[in-house]
Amino acid sequence: MPYREKIAWLSLLAMAVTFGPYFTMTATRAVPAEPMPNLHQLGLFAATAIAQMLILGIGHLYLRRSTQDARMPLDERDQAIMRRSVSYAYYVLIAGMILVGCVMPFNSSGWSIVNAALFMIIAAEVVHYGVVVFSYRRQA
Amino acid sequence: MIQGSISNRIRVLRFHSGEMSQAELGQRIGVTRQTIAAIEAGKYSPSLEAAFRIAHAFNLPLDQVFQWERQKAAK
């Protein structure tokens, strides 16, 4: 498996195990009535971001040491796959930002909008790495 | 638009070049082994420059490595 496909799998895994629980907890748990209501959500987000950084950092180090083609520069096919994946992810991100920035303010506020924006960024990243994996799988 | 498909003889040419490996060919033209595998399988069409480099690696003109076959129009 090429190094860049492994990195894409790692990124998808990191998002699944960090932002998966984050969005599940955010959607299912009510915000506790505290003097500082933002603290709970900020703490959850900080823990999620730190966990993701740790998984990605350790994963990158391990893959860089264990994969032969890790130090090879991007060739033209790698670049074509990157261009394709970024362009698909861009459309998801733009659609999400239009929804979050132009539609949601009419019926939502506060953390709902913040989390929706975060969700769309993660969705765009999932599409980005998903297209990378799919492209390497089918050798395109 | 004229429809067609690109085929190539890289696998055969590698065989005739002393069983040159995909990794070795990739190294000579500056792409990964996986990219050579994708080109051989017809899943990826290389840039014109990479195609010339591949042909040069076998000391052959481009049209003896890559062929373009026109598809017959459906009636």
Q: Are A121 and A94 in contact (CB under 8 A)?
A: no
Instruction: Report domain extents, chain B.
Output: 4-70
d(CA A3, CA A77): 13
- CATH fold for the domain made of B4-70: 434 Repressor (Amino-terminal Domain) (1.10.260)
- Give backbone dihedrals phi and psi of B66, rounded to 5 degrees, phi first: -115, 140
pLDDT at A140: 64
| pTM for the structure as a whole | 0.82
Q: Coil, strand or helix: which one is B70?
A: strand
If you measure CA to CA, which chain A residue comes closest to B49?
A76
Q: Are A132 and A8 in contact (CB under 8 A)?
A: yes
pLDDT at A1: 84
Contacts of A69 in chain B (CB under 8 A): 32-33
Q: Tokens for A74?
A: 């991007």
CA distance A69 to chain B (A): 8
Distances (CA, A) of A40 to A44, A71, A118: 6, 41, 16
The answer, for A22 touching chain B at a CB cutoff of 8 Å, is no
Q: Are A88 and A97 in contact (CB under 8 A)?
A: no
The residues near A75 (Cβ < 8 Å, ≥ 6 apart) are B30, B31, B32, B35
As for the ipTM of the complex, it is 0.80
Q: Tokens for A130?
A: 């998903």
Question: How many cross-chain Cβ pairs, A to B, lie less than 8 Å apart?
Answer: 35
CA distance A140 to chain B (A): 5
Amino acid identity at B54: I
In DSSP notation, B9-69 reads: -HHHHHHHTTS--HHHHHHHHT--HHHHHHHHTTSSPPPHHHHHHHHHHTT--GGGTEEEE
For chain B, residues with pLDDT lower than 70 are 73-75
d(CA A101, CA A82): 27
% of chain A beyond a pLDDT of 70? 96
d(CA A83, CA A128): 10
Does residue A111 register a pLDDT over 80? yes
Q: Tokens for A93?
A: 């991100």
Q: Tokens for A38?
A: 């933002």
Q: Which residues pair with B67 in a beta bridge?
A: B7
Confidence of residue A122 (pLDDT cuts 50, 70, 90): very high
